[in-house]
Amino acid sequence: LLQIFSIIVFGSIINEGYVNSEKSPILRCIYNGHEGACNYGVAIGLIAFLACCFFLVVDLYFQQISSVKDRKRVVLLDLGFS
């Protein structure tokens, strides 16, 4: 679910969030021309993508975690981040 969210946010802002103005070839953010809005969306999408990669690796090695407390922490971290 988190991976789908990151792809949607990151893809939509990168693909349609920046446009050229008629007078200038410089890309501008479509959200009131405020670059912070586009930068925020790109940052959230990137963080979500990296977290998905991290949790995918953790899930692959989940069976090798021997401590029940560590497993509980991993599951709660995944749940809390999601």
DSSP one-letter code for 64: G
Structure tokens at 66: 């021997």
Beta-ladder partners of 28: 19
Q: What is the pLDDT of residue 73?
A: 92
- Structural domain containing residue 74: 2-81
Query: Which whole number is the average pLDDT over 59-63?
Result: 89
Predicted model pTM: 0.67
Q: How confident is the prediction for the chain on average, in pLDDT?
A: 79
Contact, 80 vs 74, CB < 8 A? no
Which of the two residues, 57 and 36, has the higher pLDDT score?
A: 57
More confident residue, 35 or 18: 35
Q: Name the token pair of 69.
A: 């407390």
Element (H, E) at 19: strand 18-20
**For the chain, what is the domain count?**
1
